[in-house]
Amino acid sequence: AAAFPTAAAVRDFVVACMNHLYTSRPTAVNLGEACTRLKGTVESAAAVPGATAEHVKEAVIADAEAYQREDLASCLAIGENGAKALCDAVASRNGGMCPTQIRVMTICNTGALATAGHGTALGVVRTLHASGKLAKCVALETRPWLQGARLTAFELAHEGMPRTLIADSAAAFLMARGEVDACVVGADRIAQNGDTANKIGTYALAIAAKRHGVPFFVAAPTTTVDLNIASGKEIEIEERGSEELTHVRGTMVAASNVPTWNPVFDVTPSDLIEGIITDRGVGWNNGGGGDMKSLLS
């Protein structure tokens, strides 16, 4: 607080930071929700008669720490709800019997490194492992930034969970070999009808899962649901520069003068999703789609 002479100075700094932070991930609805919440906190604290810079700073820190605790509790609930949902879905395809352990595939990173702890989709995997029900987690490398190879594989190895890393393009073939029991992925934004935006490659994974009869789940906190949009067609998809595709660690690996298209996310239609796992429960696909409004109510 010493760097800020007044409560208003702290307020202006935090608001500017939150506005800038939100521009980094416009597809992610819960990031916007968190930024809006902290802006509300700092504005309310600064509006208190006689508020000092120290008072406003402490209010912001307290709310940020509360948000962290809430997110961890949400992830733990998602883990419990998801572990049961995956086992139930696998059992329904196996004559009502769930194998002692199941093989789960995921993409990108949705673990403790991406959340306040435990994780969303990877939190489901973590809960399965803790209960002795995880045979193996298959992590897709997740091009072009390799979050699966660099982050998810690290978390799996760090905690001693059974694991295999594969190329994104190998996912369908592994399913065809009968070596995947279920898929669970995260989400950056979920529309009212259950259409889901997530890391690029998720849509292709969902199509492969549908073709091979593998239950495909989305795991995300309720803060990821955007009831202001009816379907995935309204979700803004962030695009990034060409160097993520043409270069590796600063070295050009692609042919020169090749145009690129680099969307960061894609949208998976709700009819490909078996269920959406949240901290409040599971929104199951009933009749080809989802109804997030009913789940949240």
3-state secondary structure of 281: strand
Residue of 71, 188, 266, 291 marked active site: 188
Contacts 24+ apart (CB under 8 A), 34-39: 34/67, 34/223, 37/63, 37/67, 38/14, 38/63, 38/64, 38/67, 39/14, 39/15
Distance separating alpha carbons of residues 195 and 237, to the nearest angstrom: 13
Length of the chain: 297
Q: What are phi and psi of 183, to 5 degrees?
A: -120, 140
Nearest by Cα to 276 from 207, 198, 208: 198
Residue 184 parent element (H or E): strand 182-185
Closest to 15 in 3D by CA, of 31, 37, 79, 153: 37
Whether 188 is a known active-site residue: answer yes
Which two three-digit tokens encode residue 215?
A: 């239950």
Angstrom CA distances, 110 to 99, 117, 125, 219, stand at 25, 10, 10, 9
And the tokens for 45? 């604290």
Q: Which residues are catalytic?
A: 188
